[in-house]
Amino acid sequence: MTPLRVVLVSPRNPLNIGAAARAMSNFGFLDLGLVNAYDVAFREAKSAVGAGDLLLAAREYTTVSEAVADCTLVVGTTAASHRELKHTIHRLERGASLIQEAGGGRVALLFGSEKFGLSNEDMSHCHWLMQIPSRPEHRSMNLGQAVAVCLYELIRDTQKASTAPAAKKAASTGDQEMLLERMMDALTVSGYFEGSAGGSQVRMRNLIRRLNLNAQDAKVWLGMFRQILWKLKSD
Amino acid sequence: MTPLRVVLVSPRNPLNIGAAARAMSNFGFLDLGLVNAYDVAFREAKSAVGAGDLLLAAREYTTVSEAVADCTLVVGTTAASHRELKHTIHRLERGASLIQEAGGGRVALLFGSEKFGLSNEDMSHCHWLMQIPSRPEHRSMNLGQAVAVCLYELIRDTQKASTAPAAKKAASTGDQEMLLERMMDALTVSGYFEGSAGGSQVRMRNLIRRLNLNAQDAKVWLGMFRQILWKLKSD
């Protein structure tokens, strides 16, 4: 995995700094840099409950230039579809794979301030921009969410399998027949079959088979019909 | 696109309700339901600046059962890798494509409370669970970020192209030769070629060619070397 530094440029809100750090920790990115962070915000974020080592180890820089000095690829993020296009813009899906393929040196991923995004000066340090897809009517994204979505795209993996509960022992045919008998009894006593044509047992057997009951659940169903039958007969 | 309702079960923090609504608006999902929301939190979220129509139109339900009554598929979300496995769990990448392929009816996507996630009772309404990949060391995810990441996965699209700045008119060979001459002059005057073997002009021409200058930038470079040359000669 390409080593990656998340760089927050001029963040103002301690909650956003904390949220960015939290998303990083969730997705396994531990290198956080802050450029020109509002002092109070950074201090508050660090003292928040659960800030964690990541935030305490975050480095502060005065300029973007310092923050990316040891990086070989600098990528700016934006939710906007840009005004004057000075940079190549890749949608997040494509940008993330370019970052993964970059290989070699460290990559810096820049996020602008909550209010203004990255400035033209900030962008001049970027090799290209990455656009987070968003509805044109509502482009402005929350900083913590923008960080979460970008990092998620970097770690997403379609190869990972799904997990299903361990298959349980299927009900035996005998169990199913026992259930069928009690069901037929209960339904007969209830008058369910009155007036209906024959073949009801076969229809019921197919109905039960399609349930794909496991042995344990078959016992539960059997118990229920036994109880119902007892009640029906005792009335 | 399958119609989808985001259902927040027992949310407690107005900021999280607002953040969830914001992510929905960003990614174009407008149907929000809240089950058993903490009243004060919901009221605060609705009165927050920029809450928007989506939050004002959000419906409140007393039970999960009511919230999903008109849905044909109910999916629970979790960051944990589950304890007692009663449900099939799909990783988000896979789960999202199952939702997209579901077709037909409305899908409900359930998010649990910030502190406890979905309860066993909540999960009993779910057809399957969707797991947001996360580091084992730090599984607990912020609610707003979890919503953002899930919805992003649902709208992500690898087919969308990148956009590059419109190609500018390339510098003509004449422009490049003019630049080469001024560079050679300036470097010669500076003593750059002293002691070096011949062929320097060819090396310099190749160097310039590899810059792939556009016409405008070639002019800027030419101007710079002219100025340097003037200064060098005037000393």
How far is it, in rounded angstroms, from Cα B165 to Cα A10? 27
pTM: 0.80
> Does residue B54 surpass a pLDDT of 70?
yes
Helices (DSSP H) in A92-134: which residue ranges? 92-102, 120-123
DSSP codes of every residue in A1-37: ---EEEEEES---HHHHHHHHHHHHHHT--EEEEES-
Q: In Å, how far is A232's CA from the nearest CA of chain B?
A: 30
pLDDT at A232: 86
Predicted confidence pLDDT, tens digits, chain A (235 residues): 779 999 999 998 888 999 999 999 999 999 999 999 888 888 888 877 666 788 889 999 999 999 999 999 999 999 876 666 678 899 999 999 999 988 778 999 999 998 889 998 999 899 999 999 988 877 788 999 999 999 999 999 877 767 777 777 888 888 889 999 998 888 888 888 887 766 788 888 888 888 888 888 888 888 888 888 888 888 7
Between CA B112 and CA B124 the distance in angstroms is 13
N residues, chain B: 235
B84 pLDDT band (50/70/90 cuts)?
low
In chain B, the percentage of residues whose pLDDT exceeds 90 is 42
CB B36 within 8 A of CB B9: yes
CATH topology of domain A4-155: Alpha/beta knot (3.40.1280)
A interface test, pick of B83, B162, B168, B217 with most A CB neighbours within 10 Å: B162
Q: What is the enclosing helix (H) or strand (E) of B178?
A: helix B173-190
Q: Which of B92, B142, B165 sits opposite A85 (nearest CB)?
A: B165
Where are chain A's structural domains? 4-155, 173-234
Q: What average pLDDT does the segment B172-182 reach?
A: 89
How many beta-carbon contacts under 8 Å exist across A and B?
137
B153 touches chain A (CB under 8 A): yes
**Residue B86 near chain A (CB below 8 Å):** yes
- In this structure, what token pair is assigned to residue A101? 């393929």
Q: Which residues lie closer than 8 Å to A234 by C-beta, 6 or more apart?
A: none
pLDDT of residue A197: 65
Mean pLDDT of chain B: 87
Beta bridge partners of A111: A8
pLDDT at B50: 62
At B199 the three-state DSSP class reads coil
Of A126, A118, A95, A115, the residue nearest A35 (C-alpha): A118
Reply yes or no on whether the pLDDT at B226 is more than 70.
yes
Task: Taking residues B227-233, report their average pLDDT.
Answer: 86
A 168-227 near B (Cβ less than 8 A): none
Residues of B in contact with A136 (CB under 8 A): none
For B142: left if phi > 0, alpha if psi spans -120 to 50, otherwise beta; the answer is beta
pLDDT of residue B231: 85
A1 at B interface, C-beta within 8 A: no
For residue A55, give every residue at least 6 positions away whose Cβ sits within 8 Å of its Cβ, in sequence order, or none. Answer: A17, A18, A21, A32, A45, A46
Strands (E) in B112-225, as ranges, are 128-131
- Which residue has 């007892």 as its token pair? A230
Q: So what's the pLDDT on residue A112? A: 95
Pairwise CA distance, residues A205 & B80, whole Å: 40
